[in-house]
Structure 1
Amino acid sequence: MDDITSAAAEPDRLRLLRVLGPSHVWALGVGIVLVGEYMGWNFSVGKGGMIAGLMACWVAGLLYTCVAMIDSEVTSTVAAAGGQYAQAKHIVGPLMAFNVGLFLVMAYTMLEAANAITVGFLLDTVAGMQGQAGLNQQPFIVLAIMFLAWLNYRGVLATLTFNLVITAVAFLAIVALFVSVQFGASAVPLDFSAITTDPLPYGWVGIVASLHFGLWYYLGMEGTCQAAEEVRSPARSLPYGTMAGIMTLLVAATMTWYICSGLMPWEYLGQAGTPLFDAARVTGSTGLMILLFVGTAFATLASANGCINDASRAWFSMSRDRYLPSWFGAVHPVYRTPYRAIVFLVPIALIFALGAPLDQVVTFSILSGLLGYTFMTFNMVMFRNKWPLGKIKRGYVHPFHPLPTIVLLILCSTAYFAVFLGYGTQLSAMMCFYIIASLWFHFRRYKFVRRGDQFTMPWPKPQGY
């Protein structure tokens, strides 16, 4: 499997197809993230109460708006599969690129596992409502991951078109619940009295702690970059799809907090497995319960589907550049998908989905995402310094530089502290994992990397070189 020669790898050097438009980019970004409105975000309420949960929603929204602005500029210029990994190898260097690739693979694979866990939990909840408690969730978890991996194996256009449809349905379900409750469809009225009687049950530290799970509202939005090599017009589609996606998510996140916080006590909401579905149950409307069951199922499937797409593209890109064995860098001769990378990551997702609790899987995904966002701050500064405006053609230039970069770094630092408050052991374990992986790359794998082959952008020499 090691790359002693390149002969075996050459027949696999097929290209990915450029078949995607702005709507597919929107569907990839929102599809991965919208499940955060259906589950996981509510743990932030448990950390600090209703007000803390709302502040976490908006602060995390600001963080991801900075991420979207930075990504839109750099990725529309570095239009290659692998997203932030491709950015790192062109702008920073091999060791950083290797780590960023791992950040992406781990974040999306853990998110995929969390989605599969939620599918099983949702079906178990519905079975319990019908008097059939104790449903075996594992077969449904395995079936969901295997079906979506098969869909990704068969082609990216069908995969993301499927995501476009089910993501739109899941988003409209949130809107329908919001409108219905506002017009009196709920048997239980909205009640925000906890805001005045006990606004911050854990004090100001609860606001900081809640930011940990507030990130779950938007985690994975940066995944729009992974499709850069398969987009017809990267300079137009990537910025439009990404910025439209973050605006969609900001609206959906705020509506979600409003509905769930108004219908359920914060003590219950802070530990619920499927908060939007539970909110629909509280209304007493059978139609809304069915709609939010469908919305929850579609949101989890869309997210897992997009995660498989993104994780496999990152793994494929690293293998194609020999950061990993080149055997994984093969493109299917018929479907033009990174089929070996897709198949390889399936058992890893299954191990975590079947053997780890939801909050632990969510935390692992968040930590890997945070490390990636921290990299983006340094990457953006180096990009502007090495290739100033006017030096190379950019598809999009984000305004107010370097303000979004500074804000993103401050918010990432705060989020690390928030994670440390509740999950310090997991934070330490993840850092040790990435340090060991870096040492392996430096001493064992770097000798196979061909530095000259990985630079695919027709750029002039960097400023000062």
Structure 2
Amino acid sequence: MHSNPSLKKVLKPVHLWALAVGLVISGEYFGWNLGWDVAGTGGFLIATLLVTIFYITFIFSFTELTAAIPQAGGPFAYAYKAFGPLGGLIAGYATLVEFLLAPPAVAFALGSYVHFLHPALPVLPVAIGCYVVFTLINFLGIRESAMFSLIVTLLAVAELLLFMGIVAPAFRWENFKQDPMPFGWSGVFAALPFAIWFYLAIEGVAMVAEEVKDPQRTIPRGYIYGIVTLVLLALGVMFFTGGVTNWHNLARIDYPLPEAISIVLGKQNSWTKIFAGIGLFGLVASFHGIIISYSRQLYAMARSGYLPEVLARVNTRFQTPHIALIAGGGIGIVALCIGNTGEVITLSALGAVVMYIISMMSLLVLRRKQPNMERPFKVPLYPWFPLTALILAVVCLIAIIWYNPWLSTIFFGLGGLLVILFMAFRKPVHSS
């Protein structure tokens, strides 16, 4: 439909940094600590270092694709260009699983934080309310959404720095190294999905590529500043939290940071209550950013004929994909009602890792098939960076499947069904 308005180009490097960090920063607040439960502090530290190496090599590689092919479909557009319609379908499915199932985990944590502050408020209704509120905020336009993301991300980063400053004096090395690898090396592999949670969704910046001013220069800056910020925050938060008490006390809860501060200062201390209150900013930043990303992915796939055309409609006043926003929110609310934090994190990580694999394969194939394609940013140390990212992504995939056979069966079973339906009812599609 030629009358359908296009997305608006308004985003600058600072907005992309805020979106990159904001998409991920809730991973520093909760979820990662579940890795201690399966690996201990030492085993999870090893898993986190492996995943950090992966994300550094992946982001530099992924930035080459995003700058060369700045389309709202992100990984879907890259795989389509490299492997054709079936490759686009696989990448699109994996990306949608990642981005539609990460928000329910964040919403669970938002509900838990609010319940921690006000026990009379139940977790699930608060989580559902968050979907309604932030879907409405995203209706208002990308400029307004990006400015909101910038503000809450700056507050979230400042809060994590404040957290480290408060708990650092209470850090005890003997706490951190107590029972460091209770499950040996098998625990390291079992913990990989929770280490991925530290960085999962940073690639969502690719989904707003069509709304970026001067994408070839802006996107690399946003990504690189973002990954540096996140590596420092992730390692700092994990290290300091693990040294304030017996880590077993923090390994199974949805609000490890407020609990850590309450252990250091006492539950009735005003800093504890203030921190728990502003702790919502990190969760809000991620929740808001991922809603932006999944709505653009649904929009791009619908525009290309993979999903119902109605999802590709853009609101004429605000120039936002309003139907995609509503549909993604509905799926998230259903996931909230039937899943738990560990399950949705694992499924989201599965989708992410499959998408990472096909994205790195797309980079290698496009370098060979289209050597003269304009590449404003080229990954350093090619082909070693993308190959390292590809190998580590495959290791993560094998580990997640091995330790989560039932969830993996659901993920690949649904993906296989979509491929069969696609082959049976295939219509001509286009990538943009």
TM bracket, shorter-chain basis: over 0.9
CA contact (8 A) 1:50 1:194 kept: no
* One-letter amino acid matched to 1:278: E
In the alignment, structure 1 residue 324 sits paired with structure 2 residue 269? no
Stretch of structure 1 that moved more, 275-284 or 427-436:
275-284
Match of 2:140 in 1: 154
* One-letter amino acid matched to 1:216: W
- Please point out which of 400, 410, 419 is paired with 1:438: 419
- Please point out which of 1, 5, 26 is paired with 2:17: 26
Task: Measure, in 2, the Cα distance between the counterparts of 1:11 and 1:441.
Answer: 28
- Please point out which of 175, 184, 187 is paired with 1:206: 187
Distance apart, 1:194 and its partner CA:
4.7
Written as runs of structure 1 = structure 2, the 5 A alignment for 1:305-454 is 305-388=288-371, 391-444=372-425, 446-447=426-427, 449-451=428-430, 454=431
CA contact (8 A) 1:76 1:239 kept: yes
* One-letter amino acid matched to 1:218: Y
Match of 1:298 in 2: 281
CA contact (8 A) 2:175 2:242 kept: no
Task: Measure, in 1, the Cα distance between the counterparts of 2:250 and 2:44.
Answer: 11
SS in 1 for 2:320: coil
Cα deviation digits, residues 282-314 of structure 1 (max 9, x gap) = 121634324432343111111111111111111
SS in 1 for 2:422: helix
Stretch of structure 1 that moved more, 278-287 or 79-88:
278-287
In the alignment, structure 1 residue 258 sits paired with structure 2 residue 244? no
Task: Measure, in 2, the Cα distance between the counterparts of 1:402 and 1:77.
Answer: 17
Written as runs of structure 1 = structure 2, the 5 A alignment for 1:39-78 is 39-78=30-69
Task: Measure, in 2, the Cα distance between the counterparts of 1:420 and 1:450.
Answer: 32
* One-letter amino acid matched to 1:330: R
Distance apart, 1:97 and its partner CA:
0.6
Stretch of structure 1 that moved more, 189-198 or 266-275:
189-198
Task: Measure, in 1, the Cα distance between the counterparts of 2:56 and 2:235.
Answer: 15
CA contact (8 A) 1:64 1:218 kept: yes
1:262–1:146 distance in 2 versus 1, CA, 3 Å: same
Distance apart, 1:65 and its partner CA:
1.1
Task: Measure, in 1, the Cα distance between the counterparts of 2:274 and 2:17.
Answer: 22
Task: Measure, in 2, the Cα distance between the counterparts of 1:322 and 1:126.
Answer: 45
Distance apart, 1:225 and its partner CA:
0.5
CA contact (8 A) 1:170 1:294 kept: no
In the alignment, structure 1 residue 270 sits paired with structure 2 residue 274? no
Query: Unpaired runs of 5+ in structure 1?
Result: 1-8, 457-465
CA contact (8 A) 2:92 2:301 kept: yes
SS in 1 for 2:275: helix
Match of 1:141 in 2: 127
Cα deviation digits, residues 202-244 of structure 1 (max 9, x gap) = 1122122222211000000111101100000101111000111
Task: Measure, in 1, the Cα distance between the counterparts of 2:247 and 2:237.
Answer: 14
Task: Measure, in 1, the Cα distance between the counterparts of 2:400 and 2:111.
Answer: 26
Task: Measure, in 1, the Cα distance between the counterparts of 2:164 and 2:175.
Answer: 20
Task: Measure, in 2, the Cα distance between the counterparts of 1:228 and 1:303.
Answer: 18
Cα deviation digits, residues 167-200 of structure 1 (max 9, x gap) = 1111111111212333x4xxxx322215555332
**TM-score between the two structures when normalised by the length of structure 2:** 0.96
SS in 2 for 1:34: helix
Query: Unpaired runs of 5+ in structure 2?
Result: none
- Please point out which of 133, 158, 161 is paired with 1:175: 161
CA contact (8 A) 2:167 2:241 kept: no
In the alignment, structure 1 residue 113 sits paired with structure 2 residue 99? no
CA contact (8 A) 1:42 1:275 kept: yes
Cα deviation digits, residues 75-107 of structure 1 (max 9, x gap) = 101011111111122222111112211222221
Task: Measure, in 2, the Cα distance between the counterparts of 1:438 and 1:295.
Answer: 44
Distance apart, 1:153 and its partner CA:
1.3
Task: Measure, in 2, the Cα distance between the counterparts of 1:339 and 1:15.
Answer: 13
* One-letter amino acid matched to 2:21: V
Distance apart, 1:325 and its partner CA:
2.1
Task: Measure, in 1, the Cα distance between the counterparts of 2:313 and 2:178.
Answer: 60
Cα deviation digits, residues 245-282 of structure 1 (max 9, x gap) = 11110000011111210113222222121111211111
Cα deviation digits, residues 386-436 of structure 1 (max 9, x gap) = 222xx2322211111111222112212221233234321101210111010
RMSD (Å), alpha carbons: 1.6
Distance apart, 1:359 and its partner CA:
0.7
Task: Measure, in 2, the Cα distance between the counterparts of 1:70 and 1:288.
Answer: 41
Task: Measure, in 2, the Cα distance between the counterparts of 1:114 and 1:258.
Answer: 23
Between structure 1 and structure 2, the one with the greater Rg is 1
1:289–1:71 distance in 2 versus 1, CA, 3 Å: same
Identical aligned residues as a percent: 26
CA contact (8 A) 1:67 1:222 kept: no
In the alignment, structure 1 residue 11 sits paired with structure 2 residue 11? no
- Please point out which of 13, 27, 31 is paired with 1:36: 27
SS in 2 for 1:55: helix
CA contact (8 A) 2:117 2:277 kept: no
**TM-score between the two structures when normalised by the length of structure 1:** 0.89
- Tell me the matched-pair count: 430
Match of 1:98 in 2: 89
1:191–1:109 distance in 2 versus 1, CA, 3 Å: same
